[in-house]
């Protein structure tokens, strides 16, 4: 049932400015809602921040970084979509609301992981943030993927506080998946049981989108071959 | 500590208020039922429930108690959707929702009964009053029940043994999908918060009792 991820157009976009994105979201969302989302995420992990952080095992850190990577992807996708401004109607509202929530998830995981947090990669969404149909299709795929990903990790998490946070986010991703499916016009709950997917399969799917852009690198100090 | 999903339950008091007050208008009804969807969300409330999840030691006995609790939720919902379907008052997508979601809940009941074997508690009797005969009451009640199920499953995650947690995880997200579906269908926020607040077993039991649906 999960639609295939579109391969899309070739379009390179600037790396996201997360702080700017947050300010923008704050300006557009009802203030109470935004603050609630932000505070809520902070509070979730505030529970963990001081006493429990030391207790988070290496395995849990890996799981949290995996979750953070997926949240980076989602947050960047919705933030860029909102910025481009090509999506209209109910989907535009969903973009704002879901985007703010994904950014709150990113912030929460980063806060929890501290210096152990993986860095945000560059993304190239290949035109999917500029077209209503491609956007919805991609959003459905991402949300369904996130649900399967969290589900695949829940039983592997060691610390109860980390588990509590993960399950509280897992069901929100499922709500997003249903919401995007409804907007896309497909059944929000396709079957009685949602299957988990292992990390390797999720990462393979993410790689297949080519949304995670290779980092631009400058190597060596030699003179350029072509100077115009 | 007051938990948002329970506030929804309080206000809808699905059976109580809804049944006792037949003149309740659509907008008021939805307002009551979905009060959790908007500005009432305060930072502290949003994740206030999480620390309460400190689990009792995991055990097979505890798994059985928890699975019987979620079985009751699933029985309740399966019966609710069956009553709605039988009542024939729903049209269009709401009718489709009742049919599809009813199938899912019956599958969950069967799955949990099989897992529990002879330790499964008997199915109670239900009386849904007039909540299944009217589209607005149906929608408000369905959303409340689905939100409660999400909170109920989430609240038990840390109390389950790992194999049972793995199984429960395949169900809870489907309940969350149901909740978002019905909410979006009636123009309410499908995913109002950044995290779903958990409910303790006691809170779930109180929520069920408050509906007045279980007549036993």
Q: What is the mean pLDDT of residues A160-172?
A: 96
pLDDT at res. B65: 97
First to last CA, chain A: 51
A163 at B interface, C-beta within 8 A: yes
Has residue A225 been placed in a domain? no
Tell me the two tokens of residue A19: 């702080």
Q: Determine the structural domain holding residue A195 and report its residue range.
A: 13-30+61-213
**DSSP character at residue B38:** S
In angstroms, the separation between the Cα of residue B209 and the nearest Cα of chain A is 24
- Judge whether A131 lies within some domain: yes
Q: Which tens digits make up the pLDDT trace of B83-125?
A: 999 999 999 999 999 999 999 999 999 999 999 999 999 999 9
In a domain, A85, yes or no: yes
Q: How confident is the model at residue A216 (pLDDT cuts 50, 70, 90)?
A: low
Q: Does B142 touch chain A (CB under 8 A)?
A: no
Nearest Cβ partner of B50 from A97, A165, A188?
A165
Instruction: Output A56 or A3, whichever has higher pLDDT.
Output: A56
**Looking at residue A132, which CATH number applies to its domain?**
1.20.1260
Would residue A48 count as lying in a domain?
A: no
Better-scored residue on pLDDT, B200 or B25: B200
Domain annotation covers residue A147:
yes
Q: What pLDDT does residue A218 have?
A: 54
C-alpha distances out from residue B66 to A43, A157, B6, B140, B216, Å: 27, 20, 19, 26, 20
Shortest distance, CA A15 to any CA of chain B (angstroms): 25
Q: What Å distances lie between residue B18 and A175, A218, B28, CA to CA? A: 26, 67, 10
- Of the two residues B43 and A56, the one the predictor is more confident about is A56
- Strands (DSSP E) contained in chain B are none
Q: In this complex, is the C-beta atom of B187 within 8 Å of any C-beta atom belonging to chain A?
A: no
Contact of A32 with chain B, judged by CB distance below 8 Å, is answered with: yes
The pTM of the full predicted model, rounded to 2 decimals, is 0.77
Question: CB-CB: which of B39, B157, B173 is closest to A33?
Answer: B39
Query: In chain A, how many domains are there?
Result: 1
Residue A141 within any structural domain of the chain: yes
Instruction: Tell me which chain A residues have a C-beta less than 8 angstroms from the C-beta of B176.
Output: 171-172, 174-175, 178
- The whole-angstrom separation of Cα A159 and Cα A53 is 10
DSSP at A61:
H
**A118 in any annotated domain:** yes
Q: What is the percentage of chain A residues whose pLDDT exceeds 90? A: 68
Q: DSSP state, A87?
A: -
Query: Are the C-beta atoms of B170 and B28 separated by less than 8 Å?
Result: no
User: Does A1 reside within a domain?
Assistant: no
Residue B82 has pLDDT above 90, yes or no: yes
Helix (H) or strand (E) holding A179: helix A160-184
Share of chain B above pLDDT 90, in %: 73
């Amino acid at each position: 049932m999960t639609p295939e991820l579109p391969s899309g157009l070739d379009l390179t976009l600037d790396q996201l400015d997360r702080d700017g994105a947050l300010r923008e979201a704050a300006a557009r969302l009802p203030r109470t809602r935004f603050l609630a989302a932000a505070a809520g995420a902070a509070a979730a992990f505030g529970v963990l921040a001081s006493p429990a952080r030391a207790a988070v095992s290496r395995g849990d850190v890996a799981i949290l970084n995996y979750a953070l990577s997926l949240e980076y992807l989602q947050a960047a996708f919705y933030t860029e979509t909102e910025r481009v401004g090509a999506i209209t109607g109910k989907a535009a509202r969903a973009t704002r609301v879901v985007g703010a929530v994904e950014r709150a998830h990113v912030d929460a995981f980063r806060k929890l992981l501290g210096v152990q947090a993986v860095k945000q990669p560059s993304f190239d969404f290949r035109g999917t943030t500029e077209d209503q149909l491609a956007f919805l299709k991609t959003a459905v795929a991402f949300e369904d993927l996130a649900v399967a990903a969290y589900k695949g990790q829940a039983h592997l998490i060691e610390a109860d506080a980390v588990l509590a946070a993960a399950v509280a986010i897992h069901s929100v991703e499922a709500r997003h998946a249903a919401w995007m499916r409804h907007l896309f016009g497909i059944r929000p709950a396709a079957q009685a049981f949602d299957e988990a997917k292992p990390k390797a399969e999720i990462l393979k799917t993410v790689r297949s989108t080519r949304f995670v852009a290779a980092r631009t690198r400058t190597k060596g100090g030699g003179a350029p071959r072509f100077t115009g | 500590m007051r938990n948002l999903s329970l506030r929804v339950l309080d206000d809808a008091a699905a059976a109580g208020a809804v049944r006792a007050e037949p003149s309740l208008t659509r907008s008021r009804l939805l307002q009551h039922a979905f009060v959790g969807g908007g500005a009432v969300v305060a930072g502290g409330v949003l994740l206030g429930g999480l620390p309460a999840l400190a689990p009792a030691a995991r055990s097979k006995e505890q798994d059985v108690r928890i699975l019987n609790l979620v079985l009751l939720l699933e029985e309740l919902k399966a019966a609710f959707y069956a009553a709605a379907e039988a009542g024939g008052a729903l049209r269009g997508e709401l009718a489709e929702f009742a049919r599809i979601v009813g199938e899912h809940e019956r599958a969950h009941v069967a799955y949990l009964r099989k897992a529990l074997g002879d330790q499964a508690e008997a199915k109670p009797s239900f009386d849904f009053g007039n909540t299944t005969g009217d589209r607005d009451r149906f929608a408000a009640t369905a959303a409340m029940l689905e939100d409660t199920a999400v909170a109920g499953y989430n609240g038990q995650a840390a109390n389950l043994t790992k194999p049972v947690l793995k199984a429960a995880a395949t169900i809870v997200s489907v309940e969350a999908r149901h909740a978002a579906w019905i909410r979006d269908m009636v123009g309410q926020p499908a995913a109002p918060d950044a995290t779903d607040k958990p409910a303790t077993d006691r809170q779930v039991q109180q929520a069920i009792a408050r509906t007045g649906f279980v007549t036993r």
